[in-house]
Structure 1
Amino acid sequence: MPDAEPAMPRGGRATRAVWLVAGLACLCLGGIGIVVPLMPTTIFVILAAGCFARSSPRLEAWLRTHPRFGPPIRAWQAERAIPARAKRAACMGIVLGYGLFWLGARPHWPLALTVAVMMGGCALWIVTRPLPSGAGLP
């Protein structure tokens, strides 16, 4: 990462403030996801990085260079790639979430099928993303 000061994002102060608040909210949700089993972490941290790119170059740089969250953020930004471990965790969370939904709500078959198709579509989208190549990533 260069030592030069990052350029200030475009937009007015109010716009940058909204992006900053959204980034901080996403970061908080990602933090909750670390301790709550069905709550995702990585996607919220990636969203936070996108929000910070529009509001706070320093916070974006901090996330991109973070030892834990930096590699998946850089992989997503560079290649739209998701690491295998994150894919497995996301799909296991989807299956577990559907199981809890089915057991807790006892839905009639149309709702159960609709939710299964939607969650299956999300899982399919996740598993069809490429794996990070690692090329060009710090």
Structure 2
Amino acid sequence: MIDEPPIPHPSTRRPGWQRTLYATAGWLCVAIGIIGLFLPLLPGTVFLILAAACFTRSSARFEIWLLAHPTLGPSVRAWRATGAIPRRAKWLACASLLVSYAFVWLSGAPSIGLAGAAATMLAVAGYIISRPEPAPRP
């Protein structure tokens, strides 16, 4: 059996300035994601998934930290494994879309803007609803 060298983390194949840019974006997404855990209209999980993607491109250490975090990691790991979204998150996301549309409607946007916003939000809601739900914890 031939010993093969370990596969390098994707971040090591990028120039330093790109890793710095991705790490900065990742930490910004972590901050917004944490805020989103407390504010019902801000989708925290989406920003944590984006943070993990940024950390994949910038730092193996930060990526491992996020994935192993007891509070922040499970939803990101579930997304990576199966593209799963918990039922509660689906409800909150769809409710947020509805509230957002109400703001667009109340803003006095023209009909074409209302139609475009409705079409986009319905497509997003359809995607969210179609995702599987994570298996219950043992």
Q: TM-score, normalised by structure 2?
A: 0.82
What is the aligned partner in structure 1 of residue 111 from structure 2? 109
Residue type of the alignment partner of 1:17: T
Q: 1:71 to 1:29 in 2, by over 3 A?
A: same
Report the alpha carbon displacement of residue 35 of structure 1 after superposing the two structures with TM: 4.0
Residues 54-81 of structure 1: per-residue CA shift (max 9 Å, x gap): 1122211111122222111001111111
Gapped regions of structure 1 (runs ≥ 5): 1-6
Confirm whether residue 120 of structure 1 aligns to residue 122 of structure 2: yes
Identity %: 41
Residue type of the alignment partner of 2:120: M
What is the aligned partner in structure 2 of residue 4 from structure 1? none
Q: Distance in 1 between matches of 2:116 and 2:58?
A: 38
What is the aligned partner in structure 1 of residue 75 from structure 2? 72
On the 8 A contact 2:40/2:92 being kept in 1, the answer is: no
Report the alpha carbon displacement of residue 43 of structure 1 after superposing the two structures with TM: 0.2
Q: 1:14 aligned to 4, 9, 17, which one?
A: 17
What is the aligned partner in structure 2 of residue 96 from structure 1? 99
The runs of at least 4 consecutive aligned structure 1 residues that moved more than 6 Å come to none
Cα RMSD after superposing both structures: 2.1
Gapped regions of structure 2 (runs ≥ 5): 1-7
Q: For the pair shown, which has the larger CA radius of gyration, 1 or 2?
A: 2
Q: Distance in 2 between matches of 1:52 and 1:38?
A: 25
Residue type of the alignment partner of 2:124: C
